Structure 1
Amino acid sequence: MNNRSPNAEQLHLRTGMDAVSEGVAVFDADELLVFCNESFRRHNSELVNFLQPGLPWSVFFKEASRKYNSIPLDRIDRHLQSGVESPLILEPYRRGERWIRVGIHLAEDGGFALTEADTTDQQLANEIIDQADSLLKDILDACASRIALVRIATGRLLYTTPAWHQMFGDEEHIQSFFADSFDYSEFLADLLSTGQVDDAVYTFNNQQQNTLPARLSARSIDYESEPAFVLSVEDMTQLYEQQEELVRRREAAFQNEKLNALGQLLAGVAHELNNPLSVVMGHAMMLRDEVSDEEAIKGIDTISKSAERCAKIVKTFLAMARQKPAQIELTDINELVSEALDIASYGLRKQKVTLELNLEDRLPAISVDRDQVTQVLINLMINAEHVLSDGIDSPCLRISTGQDVPKERVFIRVSDN
């Protein structure tokens, strides 16, 4: 650069160059510094004493490499020495507290311009965005929800949470999860018409190809300038099972209430029957003492036995209806079977169920609550009656008792066909 005063055009050019935020240093064909603007001086404040017109590129390169990161300048120098005429712009690198993007632009006269752009604000913004993206990914990865990002045009899954992958596997398209393809068409139509879907229930396939009820919510978004949607899926299996269990418990509670009411009614009826039955049995006994005719005596005995049987049934009803603590006593299990049959045999006969009894004699007595075991046997017989009345050919109920000597126990078996 000569010592002549710059003309007006050069002054205007330098004034304009000093006004730009990007640092610019111009070198001539001899690789000597012609001019650098204020931004370049500010970026290279530790070399400001060297930045004078006529400074050789080699000296600047040496001092700048010693002061700053030498790798970017090495690449700039290699590009300059290679003779390649295309510009070279490097990725930003850290220089002290700032981030600088360096570039070289070759001129037609053999000179070149070295540019330095301060990208610190942009770099910090990118770091904030990267940190936010990383935080969001960490949150989603730790989330138990099944969430997916889906491209609308193709149905391709762009992102899924680990919880999604665990349930649905590696399928790449959302359509494959819908058990019915028409369901996906309906879902997509609703999404496109309103931009959102809330709590829609469809049947989904998991990675084992088992179906499950799934509640879907979705929102339309733009992702990489293309339409997409964020989808969350909730497995409703457990909720439905809980609802079914709740219904069963309500029905069981209702049945218990009915049984309690029926028990109270039976207790009242049985109590009222006790008195006339006692009268019948008493008069039968008195009448038997006064009659000598054998045929009459047989009739009286029949009346007595029938009244005794009715009294026994009434006693069983009362025992079942009363709420009392367990009373353990030595009992012959064959007697329990007979007592249960006194109650349940009428229904079995009405349904034309054949009853097969195989009760082993001389079984050892066992300690049980007579009323509770009798109730269990009655329930089994009534259940069998209901099942066998449903169009079963030749319905048959088999009841047997016996003893397992090696295991020191007795048993009652109730089975039907």
Structure 2
Amino acid sequence: MRKILYFLLIVFCIVGVSLVNNGRVHAAAPSATIKITAIETGVFDETLKQKVITLSKATPVIVLSEADGWAKIQYKTVIGYIPSEYLMSATPQYMLVQAKEEPLVRVTNKQESEIKGKLHLNTIVELYGSATADFVFVKYGRLVGFVNQQALVKPASKAMIVKSSADLVVREIASSSSTEIGVLRKNSPVKMLTNLKGWAFVKTDKLSGYVLTNGLVTPPVEKEKPEKPEKPVNPKPATDKKIALTFDDGPHPKVTRQILKTLEKYEAKATFFVVGQEVKEHPEILKAVYNAGHEIGNHTFNHERLTTLTPEEIKKQIQSTDTLIKSTIGQRATVFRPPYGSYDETITDQLNVPNVLWTIDTLDWKHRDPEKTVLAVKEHAKNGSIILMHDIHQATADALDDVLATLQKQGFEFVTVSELLGK
């Protein structure tokens, strides 16, 4: 009997090892957690006293564990400890893998560094940080590392809905054995970013991941019944009342996104005069503004009063911001606005684009009161007005819906500054 039990134990061990080696075990390793540094911070060794390296603000890291106010992290080949309060959650940008061959994921942003794996073509990966460097930091399930940014493109989205027959399981990667991260209810609307080998990557406002493609259907097209008007309807003439909304000092990671949603609601276009140091911190927000069809203006690098600077300092403030804008969205600013509206001939001589001020100052930066912002616009708006607001104050975002509704009722068309100036 003892020999039989011993034999069965050996068989069980062999089978267990075989299952692990063939990758068929159901218990998957936990997915990597990515966070970014909230400030410039040091990474310490196990004693928590000796600094190993220093990381700049907004650097993505892999969080291995957290305890007693410290996070054990990995950055490239370095493993160490950072105070948990110096880390914050990161919002990834979804990118599509498209290249001639499967791109390699490496430990560091060096071509010769160790290879961690490959990314399958047409998969969606999470991108952390800006896609302006040669190598960018990405995550696909448990595979995390650096990949050549030329292998990634912005995906197109397609509206789909979950079939009415059953709820749909959402998984971390395109595999039935990968971690389940949620469920989409029947008839839920989703945006599909890719479709490959029976799997689709979908996203909603609250959930993103891979689902089986056969669980999705194209939304039915509703046929509109034309109404028969009692009187002949003449085509609506183009409005001769145009107004330009402008926003200074951004981009802001929260407020600018809220403003973009409100502008989209009213199909309004605006001009954003951005500050270089904020573009450097939040390039993905600037891309969102540009991709939504809004105009980008230069508002210097760190909002210095230009009339107090030397010609060389003025040139640096303008050109460094222009360079950042171009590296982020692919083109330079098309208009310029001096901080505080302060300028002279020395400044305008260095410009290759129109120098734009405003005709209505809402003073939103001063009173931080949505009602006062709306009132300033309501009382002074007229054809050709350029309205000054700031997309760094929550009160401004809160006022914008009423501002647009008020102007729309008055028959205004919302255009960019260049459109208003006929440039």
| TM-score, length of structure 1 as denominator length | 0.20
Q: Tell which has more relative contact order, 1 or 2 (C-alpha 8 A, sep 6+).
A: 2
Q: If each structure's helix is expressed as a fraction of its own residues, which one has the higher value?
A: 1
Q: If each structure's strand is expressed as a fraction of its own residues, which one has the higher value?
A: 2
